[in-house]
Structure 1
């Protein structure tokens, strides 16, 4: 193994273990040997076979994305940007998203596009919540990323026949079989030769899983030392469905079954019992999340498109809830997502002091790492994995440079990301992905979407042409 040192970086976002927080460390060095960081500090005197000048650069930890759907979401671009079902509280989950699903030929291009965008925005670890598909693990390994493979399984599928009522088609045996297959996939992933794949147990949605499947999956996660994630409190429809079935809120029902813990992740967690759209007679959901150490995976973009948002990031943090971030939809740009987190939190709170950029960056790094049970990612410290991002602090949009992380999040975004390393390997060089053909995959996806659009009316309960279900910005002439 060779040792590389980044010498005299303008700035390092280093980890202070004693204070358990990131700090700015100017004029510092970062050394890594093989896939692990061996030194973070000033005046590195050890041996190094390779030296990189840190002049004009900020070295920061790679971002940790705990909720993403790379195999499907890129297909939706230009189709569901501004549509939701008015009869289903403006969600697009039940009526529109199912009719635009990528086919098997398009899935690899979806994945390559999504993972390329994530890398370009500084993500080095991503949780891929997908239905299993051929070649999945090798495709993830190809990216060079650290990936938490999260094969989803469920007992039912949802559908609507009229645009205002959601129905469920149940097959409990299929759910049990799918869980067994998911666990087998996780075992294979953890043995993958890349050494960068690990697993998470994911019953897909709270309303599509039986209580038996939920409990069994949680037990499997505990037995295997894995995190457990579920989509819950993600729509008004789901909130009412669970209260109708159980007399409890989604969070309350999960807690009553003992499924909330410091390795549990709630995908979205928007509609708590005190949310204005679902005000319930209890007021205990937030406390349940905090007391159990449960993480909320916050992904604002997909909901903001429908006029829906968490109420609000700062409130969850003040209550003691661990927060992580994800890119649930396109674009898979973590820095854009972070900016929106901050703006929505402050507008929802009517208070610019409701959250800090410190809390935001923590959620995108150590908050996500904690949720995944990893102390070796999301921070720059000796012994951590060599997953880091080199940011060009001389980029015009990074200037003036009084507070470089703020400049990155609120101004420059991915335009200032120069290089990205995972396990000490460069996967983005000079702003270009080195591991996958991003442009080729995007071109293939463009052609694939034409097939999906052609088939969409047959998948739609009302058999509407796409020009009706998803009207274009301007009339094509």
Structure 2
């Protein structure tokens, strides 16, 4: 059992079990063996097979991303940066996302690009919300990441014929079949030879799933002791659809069926009953989330592109809602996402004190770990998994490094990350992914997007070419 020692790191973001939070520990040693942290402190006196100098390095826990779509989102770069449907309150979900889907050949390249970017930004644990695709588990195993496999299923697909009305094509039997297949895939993931895959039950969207499918899926998640996640309160259109169907808000309807719990995650959870865009006759959604211990997976970038945001992160946290973070779209850069979380929270609250960096980092680590039912990730303490990140504190954009975590999040970003370990295995070294060919996957993705663009008119309700839907930044000479 080989032992690795990071000796006298300039700074370690260690876990303070007494206070229940992270704490700075300067001039400290970090030791791990067989994928587990065995020592976090000063003055390690044991032996080590490998010694890494900690001079000029900050060691921090790997980040926990609880909401991501690696198999599809990388394809959208350059296409949906500036578009949102006016008829759907600027959401891009119903009119645009279906027409920019990649083909089967593109999916593995999408996944490798996304996972590489996530590793390079310090993510060691990921919830991958994708539709099942060939080779999925092996690609995840190849990446070296710790992945919560979350195959989505649903009872209906949405579409639009005119750009302002969403219609649903229902097939409840197909949804039940897809759930059974998803549960089987989760079982396979848990048996994967990598030992780093586990599962989550994910009915895709609140408006595309029949009530019985929601209840049955939650029951299965509870029986298996795993988490359950659903996209809900993610658009004004969806809010109106659920209130039309059930006379309750999305959060209220889920709660009425007993689907909110400590292992339930709401993807996005923006449009509560007191949101200015969806003001309802109740003001109980926030209390429902807090009282049930439900987690909200906050992913600001994809919504900020369309002028939409949570109101606000600090308010949710003060109400007692467990908050986790995700990268719902490109770039798959967790540090960029964290920076935007902070800025949007403060601008929406009109108060720089609504969210501290302490609370932000907790959401990106232990908040996500709690949502996944894990107390062995997202923190550096003996007995936890050896998922950790090394940051170059001498990088010019980390200077001055009076507070290295703030310098990392608000200035240097992923440029200062040098090494990433998952289960004690080095997966990033000197800013390069060791497990996948990031550059080659990006080149394949570039070619795949050309095929997508060629098919856009046949998929679009108005048969528009991509130049009409998403005009380029500049015209051509």
Normalised TM-score (structure 2): 1.00
In the alignment, what sits opposite 1:96? 96
SS of the residue 2:207 aligns to: helix
In the alignment, what sits opposite 1:127? 127
Alpha-carbon distance, 1:18 to partner? 1.3
Aligned mates of 2:286, 2:62 — CA distance in 1? 29
Alpha-carbon distance, 1:34 to partner? 1.3
Alpha-carbon distance, 1:476 to partner? 2.3
In the alignment, what sits opposite 1:81? 81
Alpha-carbon distance, 1:230 to partner? 0.1
1:426-467 CA-to-partner distances (Å, cap 9, x unmatched) read 000000000000000000000110000000110000000110
SS of the residue 1:308 aligns to: coil
1:7-51 CA-to-partner distances (Å, cap 9, x unmatched) read 000000000111110000000000001100000000001121111
In the alignment, what sits opposite 1:72? 72
In the alignment, what sits opposite 1:212? 212
Q: Does 1:300 align with 2:300?
A: yes
Aligned mates of 1:470, 1:78 — CA distance in 2? 8
Alpha-carbon distance, 1:475 to partner? 1.0
Runs of 4+ in 1 over 3 A off after TM superposition: none
1:170-202 CA-to-partner distances (Å, cap 9, x unmatched) read 000000000000000000000000000000000
SS of the residue 2:359 aligns to: helix
In the alignment, what sits opposite 1:435? 435
Aligned mates of 2:421, 2:4 — CA distance in 1? 12
Alignment of 1:311-390 (within 5 A): 311-390=311-390
SS of the residue 2:444 aligns to: helix
Q: Does 1:187 align with 2:187?
A: yes
Aligned mates of 1:476, 1:188 — CA distance in 2? 50
SS of the residue 2:400 aligns to: coil
In the alignment, what sits opposite 1:474? 474
1:201-233 CA-to-partner distances (Å, cap 9, x unmatched) read 000000000110000000000000000000000
- Long gaps (5+) in structure 2: none
Alignment of 1:230-245 (within 5 A): 230-245=230-245
Alpha-carbon distance, 1:102 to partner? 1.0
In the alignment, what sits opposite 1:203? 203
1:341-375 CA-to-partner distances (Å, cap 9, x unmatched) read 00000000000011100000000000000000000
Aligned mates of 1:71, 1:140 — CA distance in 2? 11
In the alignment, what sits opposite 1:420? 420
Aligned mates of 1:289, 1:476 — CA distance in 2? 50
Aligned mates of 2:110, 2:323 — CA distance in 1? 27
SS of the residue 1:119 aligns to: helix
Aligned mates of 1:408, 1:220 — CA distance in 2? 40
Aligned mates of 2:54, 2:383 — CA distance in 1? 21
In the alignment, what sits opposite 1:26? 26
Q: Does 1:177 align with 2:177?
A: yes
SS of the residue 1:208 aligns to: coil
Q: How many residues align?
A: 477
SS of the residue 1:353 aligns to: coil
Aligned mates of 1:280, 1:185 — CA distance in 2? 39
Aligned mates of 1:308, 1:61 — CA distance in 2? 30
In the alignment, what sits opposite 2:11? 11
Aligned mates of 2:63, 2:46 — CA distance in 1? 28
SS of the residue 1:141 aligns to: helix
1:83-141 CA-to-partner distances (Å, cap 9, x unmatched) read 01001100000001100001100000000000000000000000000000000000001
Aligned mates of 1:67, 1:340 — CA distance in 2? 16
Aligned mates of 1:47, 1:204 — CA distance in 2? 49
In the alignment, what sits opposite 2:271? 271
In the alignment, what sits opposite 1:257? 257
1:387-433 CA-to-partner distances (Å, cap 9, x unmatched) read 00000000000000110000000000000000000000000000000
Aligned mates of 2:448, 2:355 — CA distance in 1? 41
Select between 48-57 and 297-306 the one with higher mean Cα deviation.
Answer: 48-57
CA RMSD of aligned residues (A): 0.4
Normalised TM-score (structure 1): 1.00
